[in-house]
Homo-oligomer: A and B are copies of this chain.
Amino acid sequence: MPNLTLIEAVNAAMNFEMSADKNVLVLGEDVGVNGGVFRATDNLQRNFGEMRVIDTPLAESLICGMSIGLAVQGFKPIAEIQFMGFIYAAFDQLICHASRMRNRTRGRLSCPMVLRAPYGGGIRAPEHHSESTEAIFAHVPGIRVVIPSSPARAYGLLLAAIRDPDPVVFLEPKRIYRAQSEMVEDNGVALPLDVCFTLRLGCDLTLISWGAMLKETLEAAEYLAAIGIDAEVIDLASIKPIDKVTILESIQKTGRCVIISEAPKSGSVAAEISAIIAEEGLTSLLAPILRVSGYDTVMPLFKLEQQYLPSVDKIVKAAQHVMEF
């Protein structure tokens, strides 16, 4: 069983599925010989040839739009957008077409495609390379949005995304691409979509997060445990649709909730989680639902990005505030 980093797990999942299913294709900028700027597609072109691992011209709308054309023809394209900051030109194709093909044609045509993109801050990257705008995608009916937070979940969730009959936006937390290795069996076993993963059981409060911020969230939970606060930690994983059941059950148990994400606060996915609880779990609540998040500002250039990103300390303080309420 190999020891894989998150980015290696992403690579392994694509490699597995391309071997298993000849209709799986990879396309994007620099995904071929170069293996992607983060090496997510390393060796895929060598293994599966130039026709199945396609270096496209530099055009994001084309990448998404041609994936739609491939998908309606029965292929399963995995398109890479080099950074989430460059995904917006592809948004029109995603919201007007990919997300609607099945609905528009009453099921005659469908769009089984994956749009992968690295996202998030914290790696001292240049401008436009550190954003997390998953909320924008999570508002689009007809797609799924998935974010892994460990090598094993990256492997299992990406396999599920590729096999899913509908379009999936798969966002990879690049800050933890190589942060941790773990044993991942390359056996083609997918994880379920549409469900949260409870990473730590606890009874005092619920911490909900996703992607790279789970690192700080789990650290905060450790710290809280040391001072006698027993936090449950939920990895949202499926950003859309959201698994309300797991979340509401946890809140019913703990009565307290802090949501941690690095996106700008207003209109974030954290808001949706909070609204779900305020709508369907209000009577369990013992304290306000706090959001520890990025600010309603542009992600600053890297000299100040650590000031922008939520810290362990901030999560702990929010948790303490909620406990003391």
Q: Which residues of A contact B (CB under 8 A)?
A: 61, 85, 88-89, 91-92, 95-96, 99-100, 103-104, 127-128, 133, 135-136, 138-139, 141-142, 240-242, 263-264, 266-272, 274-275, 277-280, 282-283, 285, 287-291, 295-298
- Listed by A's residue number, 28 A-B pairs whose Cβ atoms lie within 8 Å are A61-B89, A91-B92, A95-B133, A99-B298, A100-B298, A103-B297, A104-B127, A133-B139, A135-B135, A135-B267, A138-B266, A139-B263, A139-B264, A139-B267, A141-B264, A141-B298, A240-B267, A241-B296, A267-B267, A267-B272, A272-B275, A274-B278, A274-B279, A275-B289, A278-B278, A279-B289, A280-B288, A282-B285
B266 and A271 within 8 A (CB):
no
A323 to B: closest C-beta gap in Å: 15
- What B residues does A296 contact at CB under 8 A? 141, 241
Chain copies in complex: 2
Give the residue name and chain of the B residue nearest to A85 (CB).
Answer: B96
Residues on B with beta carbons closer than 8 Å to the beta carbon of A290: 279
- Max chain B CB contacts within 10 Å: which of A91, A240, A242? A91
Which residue of chain B is the closest to A282 with respect to CB atoms? B288
Q: Is the CB of A272 within 8 A of B278?
A: no
Task: Give Cα A241 to B295, complex, Å.
Answer: 13
Q: Is there contact, CB below 8 Å, between A266 and B278?
A: no
